[in-house]
């Protein structure tokens, strides 16, 4: 397991995208060649990620509106938290239309404080879902999910697990471009797969293998979260809003039926299986829950909700689904609705922090 001490022993050299210069993050956080946060005019607080508060701000040099994410240092005595280093090093390497862009890293008034300068998106899906007067149409849902799948296919192709996908971590620009954000829990994975802590992914979006204590994590856990997001957008409410881990597991069983060795080889050997007495539920109730959804739509959901992680649909496979090729066809991102009241208010709904959904 990596620790902050490990990071101190092996300084990480990072590149500033903005000015093309390099800087080093060693034991004492000596950040050379970084601009000061004083060059940015902070407006309102627009949210809170896994590892830091996010502000809307203006770059006084370029006049560009950006998102300024303050890296939490409150519990760190010996440098930048390893979680933040992970996010920085990952994001500096990632370039995709559906991944939030890390433009540069700037320092605060004291060298102990660090800010990430991110591309600004006008809203997040969680606050939109709570404030929209009418829900997204199915064509708009398809547009959102296709963009999510494209970003995720890029991440997985580059051996990165996001591990915290949820509607509050999906941002949207005023041109309808969806971007995956908050990489504080993201990890690079390889072969052989390394053990990781199972307590990742917000509860409502957490895959059953994590709830049952699996420490081997694959891209399948992100795909389960995609299923939850798709279902949430289609149903206009969270699909599995459990209040505890045992309730979460029970809600999954009620919806999909009781897992067994036949459909999920290795299920009985998962670490926490013995701690739960799962209800006997022989039926999959997805069709009853989404009576109006086409066969292709139900097939996508069922593939995303496969109990066996090895059989769960990949992002690449899901992009080829006939669901996205049948009517109603996905609308173009440029035709997605815009929400100027979110954009123009310096003290908008998100200024108070997270939406209700992101507090789970």
* pLDDT at residue number 221: 94
Question: Is 250 annotated in the active site?
Answer: no
Query: What are the backbone angles phi and psi of residue 27, rounded to the nearest 5°?
Result: -55, -40
Question: From the annotation, which residues make up the binding site?
Answer: 69
Spell out the long-range contacts of 305-313 with Cβ–Cβ below 8 A and sequence spacing 24 or more. Answer: 305/224, 305/227, 305/255, 305/256, 307/208, 307/256, 307/259, 307/263, 307/264, 307/267, 308/263, 308/264, 308/265, 309/207, 309/209, 309/218, 309/220, 309/221, 310/218, 310/220, 312/220, 312/223, 312/224, 313/223
pLDDT tens, residue by residue, 174-226 = 899 999 998 777 777 765 445 555 455 689 999 999 999 998 889 999 999 99
Question: From the annotation, which residues make up the binding site for ATP?
Answer: 69
* pLDDT at residue number 49: 64
3-state secondary structure the chain: CCCHHHHHHCCEEEECCCCCCEEEECCCCCCCCCCEHHHEEEEEEEEEECCEEEEEEEECCCCCEEEEEECCCCCCCCCCCHHHHHHHHHHHHCCCCCECCEEEEEECCCCCCEEEEEECCCEEHHHHHHHCCCCCCHHHHHHHHHHHHHHHHHHHHCCEECCCCCHHHEEECCCCCEEECCCCCCEECCCCCCECCCCCCCHHHCCHHHHCCCCECCCHHHHHHHHHHHHHHHHCCCCCCCCCHHHHHHHHHHHHCCCCCCCCCCHHHCCCHHHCCCCCCCCCCHHHHCCCCCHHHHHHHHHHCCCCCCCCCCHHHHHCCHHHHCCCCCCCHHHCCCCHHHHHCCCCHHHHCCCHHHHC
Does residue 119 contact residue 103 with C-beta atoms inside 8 Å? yes
The pair of structure tokens assigned to 182 is 């908050």
CA end-to-end span of the chain: 26
Per-residue pLDDT at 12 exceeds 50: no
- Mean of pLDDT values over 121-139: 88
* Cα(176)–Cα(337) distance, integer angstroms: 7
Question: Which residues share a beta bridge with 56?
Answer: 67
Q: Which fold has domain 4-119?
A: Phosphorylase Kinase; domain 1 (3.30.200)
Rg (C-alpha) for the chain, rounded Å, is 21
Mean pLDDT for the chain overall: 81
* Cα(210)–Cα(164) distance, integer angstroms: 12
What is the share, in percent, of the chain residues with pLDDT greater than 90? 54
- Mean of pLDDT values over 331-357: 55
- Name the nearest CA neighbour of 125 among 300, 356, 360, 316: 356
- Mean of pLDDT values over 7-27: 34
Where is pLDDT greater, at 312 or 47? 312
Q: Which fold has domain 123-335?
A: Transferase(Phosphotransferase); domain 1 (1.10.510)
Among the listed residues 29, 124, 164, 250, the single catalytic one is 164
What is the share, in percent, of the chain residues with pLDDT greater than 70? 76
pLDDT range class, residue 74, cuts 50, 70, 90: low
pLDDT tens, residue by residue, 275-313 = 988 999 999 999 999 999 999 999 999 999 999 999 999
Per-residue pLDDT at 131 exceeds 60: yes
* pLDDT at residue number 38: 92
* Cα(136)–Cα(157) distance, integer angstroms: 29
Ordered by start, the domain boundaries in the chain are 4-119, 123-335
């Amino acid at each position: 397991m990596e620790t902050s001490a490990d990071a101190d022993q092996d300084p990480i050299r990072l590149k500033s995208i903005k000015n093309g210069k390099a800087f080093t993050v060693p034991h004492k956080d000596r950040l050379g060649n970084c601009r000061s946060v004083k060059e940015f005019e902070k407006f309102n607080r627009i949210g809170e990620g896994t590892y830091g508060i996010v502000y809307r701000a203006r770059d006084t040099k370029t006049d560009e509106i950006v998102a300024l994410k303050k890296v939490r240092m409150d519990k760190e005595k010996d440098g930048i938290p390893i979680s933040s280093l992970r996010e920085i090093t990952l994001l500096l390497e990632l370039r995709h239309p559906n991944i939030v862009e890390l433009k540069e890293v700037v320092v605060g008034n004291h060298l102990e404080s660090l800010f990430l300068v991110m591309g600004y998106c006008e809203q997040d899906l969680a606050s939109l879902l709570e404030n929209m007067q009418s829900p997204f149409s199915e064509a708009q849902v398809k547009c959102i999910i296709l963009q999510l799948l494209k970003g995720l296919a890029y991440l997985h192709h580059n051996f990165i697990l996001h591990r915290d996908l949820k509607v509050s971590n999906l941002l949207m620009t005023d041109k309808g471009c969806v971007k995956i954000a908050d990489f504080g829990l993201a990890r690079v994975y390889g072969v052989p797969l390394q053990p990781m802590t199972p307590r990742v992914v917000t509860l409502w979006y957490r895959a059953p293998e994590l709830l049952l204590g699996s420490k081997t994590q694959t891209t399948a856990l992100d795909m389960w979260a995609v299923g939850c997001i798709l279902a949430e957008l289609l149903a206009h409410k969270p699909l599995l809003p459990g209040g505890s881990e045992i309730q979460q597991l029970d809600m999954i069983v009620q919806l999909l039926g009781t897992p067994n060795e036949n459909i999920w080889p290795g299920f009985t050997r998962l670490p926490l299986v013995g701690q739960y007495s799962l209800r006997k539920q022989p039926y999959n109730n997805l069709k009853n829950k989404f009576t109006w959804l086409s066969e292709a739509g139900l097939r996508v959901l069922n593939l995303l909700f496969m109990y066996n992680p090895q059989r769960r649909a990949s992002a690449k496979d899901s992009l080829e689904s006939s669901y996205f090729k049948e009517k109603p066809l996905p609308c173009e991102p440029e035709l997605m609705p815009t929400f100027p009241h979110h954009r123009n208010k310096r003290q908008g709904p998100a200024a108070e922090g997270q939406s209700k959904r992101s507090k789970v």
